[in-house]
Structure 1
Amino acid sequence: MSQGSLEAQLRPLTTWLARYMNAHRFLWLMSLACFLMAWNRGIALLYGSLALMLALIAVSWLLPWWAMRGVRIQRRQWGEASAGGELVLQYQCQPRQPLLFVTVTESLLGQPQQHFLPRLEAGTIQLSYPSPPRGVYQLPAPQLSCGWPFGFVQRPTTLASPMCEVRVQPKVHSIRQLPQPCADNPLMVGADSQMSRGAHSEFAGVRPHRDGDSMKHVHWGASARQQQLVVREFHSFDQPSWLIVIDGNAEHCLGQGSDTTFEYALQIGASMLEFARRQQLSATLVVAGDRTTTLSVEPGSANINDALWALAGVQADGQQDYSDAIRQAVAQRQEPPIVVTIRTDRQTLDMPSCGGHLDLVYAADSFDLPMANYAQGWRQLSSDHWLLHLHQLSKLHQVLSV
């Protein structure tokens, strides 16, 4: 008999043993075997072995319970968490004495996530977990298991810990450059251009060099004095503002789970806010849900953390027509903005007068037949109108940039 066929025959047995057999159950089986043989044969040594195994089992059950008496743990989210990334929880632990062989179990979307700690002492620890999809979650009380002293038994207990709220933000994709849909400015807004040719601007100061800044904007004198690269920063008076309007109508949302048009739109909107911040542009994101959410980024903003924090809690629960939402958002602007819309090819828009239009259109059929062939990429329809074809499997970090 070959080794391969023997392994194939033994695989069901090994699978069953791995699933149902552990050290604790093995000790109980050995105790039962020793008792039956000692009772049948009258061998005192087997009675001694039985007593030893029963004592081992009792100690494995009682000592973890004794060690975990009065353990208190408080949790909170540490830093920001993005969909598809890591969620970090900070624990403030207060055990009566150091615990050994500890397992911390958190329930994320009903799925247990575990961390094994060889030693748990009083103090603060941080544990990371895979981030759930974007949203706001209330974590139930964690479960703490202790295997001290032998590790045969993991004695679990649910701690009396308050609920912990965590917020998972939408994923932000890096955008190198976007089209500039203006009749009098055919240039692209990109990492190497602070503004269009001939724009009116004034010197605003210097700031540390960031990835993507052009070397032609480096202030060499200030860099020498500060011993680091710094760049000149300008404020433009005629640079148009950007307005991203997201359709929060529940009836227009296609897809399931985290792969929906609404979730993709939030990722695109957040990415464009970050692009505007890096390019020192003014941008506003409007989510037309049951309650309209308006988030803005102005030139000089250090980050978009507050906007991402707010986007974690928005939902596609609105009923407003998308075209009406766009008209209302444009009417609130003093100057005609460049409008960014995100829709499916089953929706038609009645656009108001604006300073330009970037129209991002998802193929609706791609959410039913994702493997079919669909158009993808930017297309210029006119000097002030650009169209981006997208589908469910589009890699946003690749297709958003021109």
Structure 2
Amino acid sequence: MTTHDATDGRHTAEPRSRAELLDRAGDAFIDALGAIDAKDEPGLYGVVLADFARCRRSAGRLEEAAESLSEAADHLRDDPGTRDALVSALYDLSGVLQALGRTDGAVAVQLEVLETVRSYPKVSQRRLAEELVTTGDLLMEAGRPLDALELLYEGHELLSAEGVGARQEQSAVLVRCARAHRAAGQDEEALAALRKALAVVDPVEDAATCGLLLDEIAAVHRSAGRLQEAVEAGREAEGYLSEANGHLLAGALHHLGRTCELMGDAGAAGGYDDALAYYRRALALLRSEGDLGYCGVVLHDIGDVHQSQDRLEEAESAYEEAVELKKQDPQPRRDLVTTHRALGYVRQELAERREP
């Protein structure tokens, strides 16, 4: 209950919950809508309806938010003077649809955002580039890498114009292009995009980015079965990341371990030993960083190598520790079931080697 002190004009109130305040805010927006003639002032009605929808979104009522934002966009389309408000409402609608898991609907809305921004008479190159990249990202999420590539490369071209985008931004978009190429099964095109991204970055000023790009290049070689090239790129990445934070270097070492493990699987001498060396270095860094989940992933991989070497007791020990660490991670990086099953297989094999 709110009381009014007539002597100084101040209001005092009992504490109210977030939910109550949001409900009251929604009531205020509904009152505002009731004072507007939607036919005479479609733009204003749409603006206020979008405000109401955002209030519903804050309250976690996403279905209602999506419905209201969609209706708000209909009203805003009827008023050419509210184009910015239309873009804002559509952008919010796309986000709500993504949160509801309706990726295709979100893509359709984001494409309208892009086309609306394109229609601006004096849209800046940077603004258009940002919308192109955002739309490209969403198309990737929707499993449409070829459609994404067209927009991502257009965005990169705009960002590459003098004075528009920083080198790091240009490089980041090229990495997106590379990932889209990989999703489309175009490994050579992915390598070309990553090498172009690498050429943009200053290796002295941004050694960490160079290292991450080389790690991505190594991943492409690894997936294509070019393991020696993957090792070479991975070792170069390691050099650039040697002064980076522990997580980045650990990731590169883990990936190098995976490449060497594959070489061991293919019969390369010393492949498994090299894999274990890289995995153990990565594990030491991750332990110092306190990343239990990632430690569990690396320990699982160590168990796999030991199993391939027929060192089953050591494999069992690695899997056991991996399970315990993964249990402590609220967001395990690899399905815990996989490690439980690996542990079960090793124990079964050990049992079968024992005399009845």
Which TM-score band (shorter chain)?
A: under 0.3
Structure showing greater Rg: 1
Bigger proportion of residues as helix: 2
User: Which has more strand, going by share of residues?
Assistant: 1
Tell me the TM-score normalised to structure 1 length: 0.19
TM-score (norm 2): 0.20
